[in-house]
Amino acid sequence: MAATTHTVTNQAPPLVGYDVFTSDRALAEGVERHLDPALLATAREQLSELGRTAGSVQARDWGFLANENPPVLHTHDRYGNRIDEVAFHPSWHRLLGKAVSAGLTAAWSRPGGHLRRAAGFLVWTQVEAGHGCPVSMTHAAVPALRADPALAAEWEPRLTSLVYDEGLRPASQKAGVLFGMGMTEKQGGSDVRANTTRARALAEEGAYELTGHKWFCSAPMSDGFLVLGQAAEGLTCFLVPRVLDDGTRNAFAIQRLKDKLGNKSNASSEVEFDGTWARRVGEEGRGVRTIIDMVAATRLDCVVGSAALMRQAVAQAVHHATYREAFGGKLVDKPLMRNVLADLALESEAATTLALRLAAAYDDGSEQERAFLRIAVPAAKYWVTKRCTPLVVEALEVLGGNGYVEESGMPRLLRESPLNSIWEGSGNVQALDVLRALQREPQALNAFLREVGLARGADHRLDGAIKALLTELADLDGIEARARRLTERMALVLQGSLLVRYAPPEVADAFCASRLGGDWGSAFGTLPHSLDLAAVVERAAPGGN
């Protein structure tokens, strides 16, 4: 007979056995809202299949194993030959294989591809975020390569393939390839124009030899990399294949893997180029202009990735509170806990709704939408990624001590949460990018104001926030020092406009009252008590077993 001290009661079951897509109402409704009706049935079916896999015990275990067994660098073989290979746990390859087969690198090759991909990325990276790095880089490489039609014709079918083909071989021999990126160097960081990697033109048309050190090179086991180097005419974009056409390894010395705060499953590396063969992408001296579309696409993935972390954190918190009892009742029914959960749910839904709106703008592709993206992407990247960490901290606290142990998965979410704010340009870079768009591209501001103006008159707090934003935009005094404040307000007004138009009334009312109307404290769980918070929490519930 078991000892009574070992009887487990009042614990929430694991959040597994549910459909991560269909249980996320904000996500499912967003896909239905933005996607061509002719594509909707197929997209729902595919996303639901991915969602069921994401909510499975097997996928959960893959995520844990990939992080408990981080990548290992092997610089040499047993005989002393340089090989520069990184070994991953099999779970990493299973995660990547599912991501590729689900079309998360294939947005550019199918109708409604960006919205469908963003929704899938949001679903699947809730399982494990680290492998999202090569997925994101591969997806984002396509627009940069299109600067050279011949290169695009050669590489794009491989990049958008639904086949994950691991191992280092010539790209021409593979059914699908992955890409990485190397822009950052020690002396420059975000200031890529300070890069010192040298590019010497070779006799072969478009071919160069690179010499230099990349301080951060993502996904070093990828098949190709887009990098920046100094050519005769200035900073230029290059494609560096990992393996050359004749089967020999390109000069690509991995000096070390970064020991990061989080993102443990993913290999981030320092690499040396010493006589490394590369192919120019775009014109000499136009490297930033060539690679900027790749950067924009990865910045959108930072928004989507943060929305995914936020959604998983909220799902775990609501799930726990639904089962856990304290002080005579379910936690989820306690007024103060309900306030916390509703506040977290608002932040998560606002992030998801904004991310899907940006993805839909990519699919539209009109001049108006491109102008809108020019200012909305950096504003969203700034704000959503910054809201991720405090939200995850608060969601972890809902689980109490249970959330502070590794088995819960919450510490991994917490370690991952600051990453998207740092990668692809940190907060100041995004805020200054918004300023550049305001100052140099008036059509971008016009497109932004047209978008937020679609909700004008529907909520007095939103109207007041739009008016205050216009006043601030008219004052250029000390504009750089105010860039963060301005960018935050733009993101909040945009989120408010979207929620007023698309979210249930209780969600829009609570968001506008707190984020725009000022009836809010300095921490989560400080919403006005008179709001319909129970409905907000119920909407965020994930289900599960």
Per-residue pLDDT band for 40 (boundaries 50, 70, 90) equals very high
Residue ranges in 399-504 assigned as alpha helix (H): 410-416, 419-422, 427-440, 442-453, 460-473, 483-502
pTM tops 0.85: yes
Residue of 382, 386, 376, 371 whose CA lies nearest to 356: 376
Q: What is the pLDDT of residues 299-349, one digit of tens each?
A: 999 999 999 999 999 999 999 999 999 999 999 999 999 999 999 999 999
Q: In the predicted model, is pLDDT for residue 77 greater than 80?
A: yes
Residue 175 CB contacts under 8 Å (≥ 6 apart), including other chains: 158, 161, 163, 165
Say what the pLDDT of residue 193 is: 77
Write down all domains in the chain, each with its CATH number in brackets.
28-285 (2.40.110.20), 289-540 (1.20.140.10)
Say what the pLDDT of residue 545 is: 53
Q: 249: which DSSP letter?
A: B
- Cα separation, 361 vs 141, in Å, equals 19
Residue 466 CB contacts under 8 Å (≥ 6 apart), including other chains: 452, 453, 456, 493
Q: Strand 198-201 relative to strand 268-281: parallel, antiparallel, unpaired?
A: unpaired
Q: In the predicted model, is pLDDT for residue 3 greater than 80?
A: no
Say what the pLDDT of residue 544 is: 57
- Cα separation, 312 vs 308, in Å, equals 6
Residue 508 CB contacts under 8 Å (≥ 6 apart), including other chains: 459, 496, 499, 500
Quick check: helix, strand or coil at residue 17?
Answer: coil
Quick check: helix, strand or coil at residue 92?
Answer: helix
- Cα separation, 326 vs 531, in Å, equals 24
Q: What is the pLDDT of residues 342-382, one digit of tens each?
A: 999 999 999 999 999 999 999 999 999 999 999 999 999 99
Q: 475: which DSSP letter?
A: -
Per-residue pLDDT band for 5 (boundaries 50, 70, 90) equals confident
Q: 191: which DSSP letter?
A: -
SS3 content of the chain, % helix, strand, coil (to 5): 55, 15, 30
pLDDT above 70 covers a percentage of the chain that reads: 99
Say what the pLDDT of residue 194 is: 79
Say what the pLDDT of residue 469 is: 96
Average pLDDT over residues 196-220: 95
Per-residue pLDDT band for 478 (boundaries 50, 70, 90) equals confident
Backbone angles phi, psi at 414, to 5 degrees: -65, -45
